[in-house]
């Protein structure tokens, strides 16, 4: 009868190492996905803020609206960006 090079302890250690690798790689993948979502959400929010600034400037210059009306448009634009960010995260 030939003896195996792998003892039960060696096999158990190998199995445990494989399970740990699978578990941690899944967790890392999940964290990467979450980080990408957060980053995309930040970009959307920053873009909305910039669009709101430009929109307010254009509103004041071309539309002949009051500062109050232009400020409300800016708020609405920023709020739309926040909502889009929420949709990305969830």
pLDDT digits (tens, 9 = 90+) for 48-69: 899 899 988 888 888 778 888 8
Q: Residue 76: its pLDDT value, please? A: 92
Q: Which residue is it, tokens 């307010």?
A: 56
Q: What is the pTM of this model?
A: 0.54
- How crowded is residue 73: how many other Cβ atoms within 10 Å of its Cβ? 16
pLDDT at 1 over 60: no
Phi-psi region of 64 (alpha: psi -120 to 50; beta: other; left: phi over 0): left
Structural domain spans, the chain: 10-89
C-beta of residue 81 within 8 angstroms of C-beta of residue 51:
yes
pLDDT digits (tens, 9 = 90+) for 26-35: 666 666 778 8
17 versus 69: which is more confidently predicted?
69
């Amino acid at each position: 009868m030939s003896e195996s090079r792998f003892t039960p302890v060696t096999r158990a250690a190998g199995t445990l190492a494989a399970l740990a690798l699978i578990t941690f790689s899944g967790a890392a993948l999940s964290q990467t996905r979450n980080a990408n979502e957060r980053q995309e959400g930040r970009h959307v929010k920053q873009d909305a803020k910039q669009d709101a600034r430009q929109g307010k400037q254009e509103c004041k210059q071309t539309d002949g609206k009051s500062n109050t009306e232009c400020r409300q448009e800016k708020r609405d634009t920023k709020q739309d960006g926040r909502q889009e960010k929420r949709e990305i995260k969830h």
